[in-house]
């Protein structure tokens, strides 16, 4: 896949135009043999063409607002766009009033001159790590995708459409959100890069909430550098001067508890091969137990922050339009009705304690490493049973949710060989250590690319 740098260079050289890029994206979206109808819930073709023409004119005049002006992007269906409703992948909000203003992150993307193609599919209300959507169909992972319209493998959620849009080159990059892994899980299951920033760096105003204590906004893209570039735009920061870290001497901690449980053999093999490559390049992989991680399941057994905060937002809508919800999503949200204020405060206190303990335990290391998810993309047909759905959902969220609860940044990048099942390699940094994590991830990516390409 081409990177943002590739597109930016082509625009500068005049070998392509923004209008060309938009037309290429629209053609892929409209391809009846592709996933466009499942991925895009709304295509804004005319506005995209008009903005592309405007960006081409500004570039000819030497007034392009950023190096990425004119490059298209897709956005998850929970961002406010002025004049459009924000359904969040649900039928319950299809008739909602249009947003009166852009979410700040959308305004920043537009100010950089990037061209929105439309809204993409997602798990309803972002409340699933699998990516199924019974209302608008489910985009399918690129892995072993059947030629027909039935079957296939789940894309991961909740930013399912964002991941498939990038993997299928319908959009060079896409915006997602990440409350328990919703950028990183679909990135892992679709073979792209997904980034979760330190949450406070990027505004979540104008983004339909799941759990404001845990919600973050991040990019899905072909490369680490692409994610770093979009992350800077979202955070209102200058373009990054991304220099890969030196792998030799890096101390990378691999937790020996929790995160390696129940690994699919293919995931374990790809992950261990990646560790071997990094070790061969001089990185020090230290396998160490972090007992505090074993507390997370107990702390969140009653639903944690997610169900409490989600129910607080949804209770009025459920009372009015509850029959329009996916029953699986509604049932999980309604768990929050059984949590007391004392329960909620207990989770907040436990979170503060766990963050402090983990900060002390991980201080000697440059980053933590682990498989992004323990599973390969699950077959959609195997998730019809509620028990199977809940089991798979829990496993997919297990590793990624750690970074959200610890208020840290994290990134997933592919570590599988080309043509084999997608496997994500996750790096987790420190709170507000985003720049350092990007540098480490860029070095890891460079080391793994030759192995992936064989």
The residue ranges of the chain whose pLDDT is under 50 are none
Burial per residue of 58-76, b for 16 or more beta-carbon CB atoms within 10 angstroms, e otherwise: bbeeeebebbbbbbbbbbb
β-strand partners of 194: 220, 412
Residue recorded with tokens 């991304």: 242
pTM of the model: 0.98
Q: Burial, 172: exposed, middle or buried (Cβ in 10 Å; 0-12, 13-18, 19+)?
A: buried
Inter-residue contact 132 to 123 (CB < 8 Å): yes
Q: Which residues are catalytic?
A: 76, 158, 182
What is the C-alpha to C-alpha distance for residues 171 and 165, in angstroms, rounded to an integer? 6
Token couple for 82: 């002025």
For the chain, give every domain's residue range. 4-235
The pLDDT of residue 276 is 98
Token couple for 258: 């929790």
The pLDDT of residue 454 is 67
Inter-residue contact 427 to 367 (CB < 8 Å): yes
The pLDDT of residue 339 is 97
What is the C-alpha to C-alpha distance for residues 39 and 423, in angstroms, rounded to an integer? 22
**Matching CATH number, 4-235, of 3.40.50.12780, 3.90.1300.10, 2.40.50.100, 2.40.30.20:** 3.90.1300.10
């Amino acid at each position: 896949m081409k990177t943002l740098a590739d597109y930016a260079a082509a625009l500068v050289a005049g070998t392509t135009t923004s209008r060309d890029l938009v037309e290429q994206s629209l053609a892929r979206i409209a391809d009846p043999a592709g996933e466009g109808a499942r991925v895009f819930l709304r295509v804004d073709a005319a506005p995209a063409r008009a903005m592309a023409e405007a960006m081409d004119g500004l570039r000819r005049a030497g007034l392009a607002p950023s190096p990425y002006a004119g490059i298209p992007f897709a956005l998850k269906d929970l961002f406010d766009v002025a004049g459009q409703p924000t359904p969040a992948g649900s039928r319950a909000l299809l008739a909602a009033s249009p947003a009166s203003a852009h979410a700040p992150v959308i305004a920043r993307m537009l100010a950089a001159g990037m061209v929105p193609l439309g809204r993409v599919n997602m798990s309803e209300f972002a409340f699933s790590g699998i990516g199924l959507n019974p209302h608008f169909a489910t985009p399918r992972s690129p892995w072993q995708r059947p030629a027909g319209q039935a079957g296939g493998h789940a894309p991961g959620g909740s930013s399912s459409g964002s991941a498939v849009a990038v993997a299928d080159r319908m959009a060079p990059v896409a915006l997602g959100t990440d409350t328990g892994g919703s950028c990183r899980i679909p990135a892992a299951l679709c073979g792209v890069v997904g980034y979760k920033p330190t949450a406070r760096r990027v505004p979540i105003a104008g983004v339909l909430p799941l759990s404001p204590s845990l919600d973050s906004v991040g990019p899905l893209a072909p490369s680490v550098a692409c994610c770093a570039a979009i992350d800077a735009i979202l955070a209102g920061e200058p373009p990054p001067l991304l220099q890969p870290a030196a792998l030799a001497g890096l101390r990378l901690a691999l937790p020996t508890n929790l995160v390696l449980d129940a690994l699919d053999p293919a995931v374990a093999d790809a992950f261990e091969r990646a560790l071997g490559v990094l070790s061969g390049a001089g990185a020090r992989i230290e396998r160490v137990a972090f007992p505090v991680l074993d507390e997370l399941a107990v702390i969140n057994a009653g639903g944690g922050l997610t169900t409490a905060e989600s129910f607080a937002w949804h209770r009025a809508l459920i009372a009015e339009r509850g029959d329009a919800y996916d029953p699986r999503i509604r049932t999980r949200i309604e768990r929050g009705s059984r949590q007391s204020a004392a329960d909620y405060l207990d989770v907040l206190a436990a979170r503060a304690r766990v963050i402090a303990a983990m900060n002390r335990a991980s201080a000697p290391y440059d980053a933590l490493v682990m498989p992004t998810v323990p599973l390969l993309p699950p077959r959609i047909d195997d998730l019809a049973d509620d028990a199977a759905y809940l089991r798979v959902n829990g496993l997919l969220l297990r590793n990624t949710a750690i970074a959200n609860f610890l208020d840290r940044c994290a990134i997933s990048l592919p570590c599988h060989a080309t043509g084999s099942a997608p496997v994500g390699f996750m790096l987790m940094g420190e709170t507000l250590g985003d720049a350092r994590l990007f540098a480490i991830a860029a070095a890891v990516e460079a080391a793994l690319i030759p192995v992936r390409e064989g």
